[in-house]
Amino acid sequence: MQPSAARVRAFEPRRATLLDPGTHALFLDVDGTLIDIAPHPDAVRVPEGLVGLLGSLSTRFGGALALVSGRTVARLDALFAPLALPAAGVHGAEIRLDAGGPVTSAVPPFPERLRQGLNDLARRFDGVFTEDKTCAVAVHYRAAPDAGPLLGAEIAALVEACGRGYGVLAGQMVFEVKPEEHDKGSAVAAFLTQPAFAGRTPVFVGDDVTDEAGFLAARAYGGAAVSVGRRLPDVDTVLPDAGAVRDWLAGLAAGTVR
């Protein structure tokens, strides 16, 4: 779903930091945004108090808070248990539109030939590994940064040989092979049709180029984008790191900042 032209308008430079819990909706990336990046996806640590903070924020924003991540929704639930927030996983390929509701996915099974090809490719490089997300596969190379250019070229060739329907999303030291028809922007649009989010101004917070579709969707619907750690295209505000994001969200939850 695309926003109507009537809803597209200009943005004030500091708009992202001026939030009203009664009229705004928060869309939050996870790795590098809410929690610090780790060498391996399984090695991340959820800071003490973050689960309670997200629960308080969700209540303060009337349920208009969603996680929008490259992780699966099941993995998000495991990280933030006992919370089960509205969430989009695998860059929008999975979605749970309301807290505690069912997780849906309309994507076909990941092609086994492509999965095997990516696994075989990763085994050729020391420090490179795959993360199987069922409907997508991520190839991580944080421990082998020099491998990036060759990995990217060979992954692109594997995807092209597989045929249509899948694309490569390059992030920070990772290549995600995922269904082309879904991204974080399509997830934002889907949430904005739901009662808790409808009519609210979206604010998307993320740290990577994989979040750019979310940034664009938030801005297209009259909202704002916040990048973390660096200034990415199409953002209104930059926060220095995940710790600063948590501090900002704590202030929002307490009503001491807007």
**Active-site residue list:** 29
φ and ψ at residue 236, rounded to 5 degrees: -100, -30
What tokens appear for 136 in the block? 């997508």
The DSSP secondary structure of 158-200, one letter per residue, reads: HHHHH-TTEEEEEETTEEEEEETT--HHHHHHHHTTSTTTTTP
CA-to-CA distance for 201 and 220, rounded, in angstroms? Answer: 10
Q: Give the residue carrying structure tokens 């992780």.
A: 71
What tokens appear for 110 in the block? 């990941």
Helix (H) or strand (E) holding 96: strand 94-96
Distance from the Cα of residue 160 to its chain's centroid: 25
CA-to-CA distance for 69 and 93, rounded, in angstroms? Answer: 10
What tokens appear for 10 in the block? 């200009």
Closest C-alpha among 226, 186, 187 to residue 204: 226
In Å, the largest CA–CA distance within the chain is 54
